[in-house]
Structure 1
Amino acid sequence: MTPANERTIASVTHLSSFTQYVFPLGNFIAPIIIWSAKKNDSEFVDYNGKQILNFQLSIFAYSAILVLISLPLLIYGFVDLIGTNCTFSNFEIDFNGFHNQKITTLIGTAIVAFVLFMFLKVFEFILIIYAAVKASNGEHYKYPLTIPFFK
């Protein structure tokens, strides 16, 4: 395989992760197909294939952690919000003072989770393009904050 072909295939492997916007799990399936087909032909393609897969798995893990942290907080907020006014026979307890605080906490949690997720997706988009450019120049690029699942 010529060095130009290696660089092209490595770049396409990085860019193939954008197929996630076309079909579900495309960010894993497309790079795996390209990488598994060409990893034995080129050490450069093998390295880049591992890098994009490690990065995509890391982004998935970070997204899952974000959901695991924010989802219980959101559920707790909704459950608390539903039960703000309690009535026991002739005795009524009004939690309206806490009601506004719970709404604020719920909305704040949702906004923070959404902003962090959007930041993660923008970070992913920029780094994939950057890695593809580096690969097309023949440089080895290691994504930051990547967990090395494949070595």
Structure 2
Amino acid sequence: MTTTNEKNIATFLHLSALTQYVIPFGNYIFPIVIWSTKKNESEFVDYNGKQVLNFQLSIFVYTVVLCLIAIPIFIYSIFKNVPEGDIHINREFVIDNLSMGNLTGISILGIIAVLLFCFIKVIEFVLIIYGAVKTSNGEFYKYPLSIPFFK
């Protein structure tokens, strides 16, 4: 049976991941600090701390993969659609040739990667709140699609 104090600490662990919107890397710093100070006191807090960190690290990995796909595609698409003489002769970057007609399948793949990134961030926010609610009810919550870095 988990105590109210354990439920509150575990809930705060989940909600501390939202500090990423205020403090850079807050979604890693605050859960690590809370988890490392309280993990030996409660199995419930230890489990939830691992789940929060696994989920945040998984989101980071998914974001890096999407960036590795999207950024080179966008750079390639921009330089492919702008004639070389426009860049070197005028010494300014004019984007007159970027139109819907010049979009290729690879450009659309880059746009899909950016949309997936936005979708991941919205789902992350919702799942953090959902995990906090489940934890406040005393349930052991495991985030979906989370890579188990900490077991």
Q: Considering fraction of residues, name the structure with more strand.
A: 1
RMSD of the alignment, in Å?
2.4
What TM-score do you get using the length of structure 1 for normalisation? 0.83
The amino acid across from 1:149 in the alignment is F
Say if 1:74 and 1:109, in contact at 8 Å, map to a contact too.
no
Aligned to 2:113: 113
**Do residues 71 (structure 1) and 63 (structure 2) align?**
no
Match of 1:37 in 2: 37
Q: Tell me the residue number matched to 1:13.
A: 13
Look up the match of 1:130.
Answer: 130
Q: 1:13 touches 1:31 (CA, 8 Å); kept in 2?
A: yes
Unaligned runs of 5+ residues in structure 1 are 87-96
**Over residues 72-130 of structure 1, what are the superposed CA-to-partner deviations in whole Å (9 max), with x where a residue is unaligned?**
111111121223679xxxxxxxxxx9976434657634532332111101110110011
Q: Secondary structure at the match of 1:147?
A: coil
8 A Cα contact 1:77 1:105, kept in partner: no
Q: Distance in 1 between matches of 2:41 and 2:12?
A: 15
Q: 2:145 aligns to what SS in structure 1? A: coil
Name the TM-score, length of structure 2 as normaliser: 0.83
Amino acid at match of 2:119: F
**% identical equivalent positions:** 57
Q: How far, CA to CA, are the matches of 2:120 and 2:56 in structure 1? A: 11
Size of the aligned set, in residue pairs, is 140
Find the aligned partners of 2:52 and 2:98 in 1 and give their Cα distance. 47
Maintained 8 Å contact 1:131/1:141:
yes
